[in-house]
Amino acid sequence: MNQHLEHFSRQMQEFSGQQRQFLEIGRNAGRFPSAVARDRASGADTEISVWCSNDYLGMGQHPAVLAAMKEAIDTYGAGSGGSRNIGGTNHYHVLLEKELAALHGKEAALLFTSGYTANDGALSVLAGRAPDTVVYSDRLNHASIIDGLRHSGAQKRIFRHNDAAHLEELIAADSVDRPKLIVLESVYSMSGDIAPIAEIADIAKRYNASTFLDEVHAVGMYGPEGAGIAAREGIADDFSVIMGTLAKGLGTAGGYVAGPAALIDAVRSFSRSFIFTTSLPPAIAAGALAAVRHLRSSEQERESLRTNAQLLHRLLDERRIPFVSPMSHIVSVFVGDDARCREASALLLSRHGIYVQPINAPSVREGEEILRVAPSATHTTTDVEKFAEALDSIWQELDIPRTNH
């Protein structure tokens, strides 16, 4: 073995105690959150209930979505055949971009192959093409935002998480003549808390800053027609660019940005992660289009998700099981210890058939380990009650601290 490979071999041996384990599951279409977990050693299958999926509304199994995807495959085949610039733009891509622009009340939208590449590709252009731009980024912004800003080469200021006063302190210290861009998320993926977007929009107006709002964990779940938190607060027009995903509330795969036509065209023309990659398969675009159209006209899924999240918040409060924030459907149950977090997850699976992935560094900081629980619109009231009971028994057995958030 050469020295390069020896280095990585030693590094992985040292890391083995913290290495993440991936559970192999097969979600049961039509019966989700039911899924089948496969034991890699024996090959045996066990039925489980999934409590950490990002398919929050169950749109990944919705009949309209499945029908649209099957029809698109029968018509156009499996893949797109190329990048968007070279033979890979299908009519479903065009229709979906128009639908997403309309959902957010923006002039245009642009599809990417994932939410990660949407943030990375769009921000590398929006922050990097205007000379001397300074960017103000929330400390807990997603890795894709961090990478996009790094690739942009723009100067960056980090404001404390959800701290509008700190943001204003930073932005006031810079020259009024410099182009400014504020980047934040609406719902934060690990904590589940919601940004003070109205305050931040006001700061942007006062200091003539553009804004980029990541609504990945809000699209479909909040606001009129599922347009997100900014739409819920009636201030979507105050944000220059809205970024979203097709992979969570919409149940498929891909990402997008929506905003003024000139900005979106700049991203289309200069974003490396858009230009130099194969476009989404037509069937994925067709399924996402069906999901957007359904959720623009249906409140049922959002209401079920809201009811389940509120019930779980109440049941955990009653049992004094700490969770980070009651503001959204992401219920991050706080453990604060890597070993106990892993053990709690393992016991939930082995004893109760409940799958919740333990979250450790680098997704959260050491000492802030969580079980990232995500009740879905497809869980029943009984499901939620059984989950709370199971969590309570494991909290007692492992002597995990109980506190009120």
Catalytic residues: 248
From the list 245, 248, 291, 22, the residue with the least C-alpha distance to 116 is 245
**Helices (H) and strands (E) in the chain — how many of each?**
14, 14
Give yes or no for a contact between 326 and 345, defined as CB atoms under 8 angstroms apart. Answer: no
Beta bridge partners of 372: 332
Q: Phi and psi for 331 in degrees, rounded to 5?
A: -110, 90
Q: Give the angle subtended at the CA of 52 by the CAs of 67 and 68, to the nearest 5°.
A: 10
Q: Is the peptide bond prior to 362 cis by the omega test (within 30 degrees of 0)?
A: yes
Give yes or no for a contact between 106 and 260, defined as CB atoms under 8 angstroms apart. Answer: yes
Beta bridge partners of 47: 36
CA gap 405, 401 in Å, rounded:
12
Q: Phi and psi for 109 in degrees, rounded to 5?
A: -145, 160
Task: Find all residues with CB under 8 Å of 99, minimum gap 6, and list them.
Answer: 289, 292, 293
- Residue 382, Cβ neighbours under 10 Å: how many? 8
User: Where do we find the tokens 């384990």?
Assistant: 21
What interhelical angle do 115-126 and 261-270 show, nearest 10? 100
Beta bridge partners of 112: 255
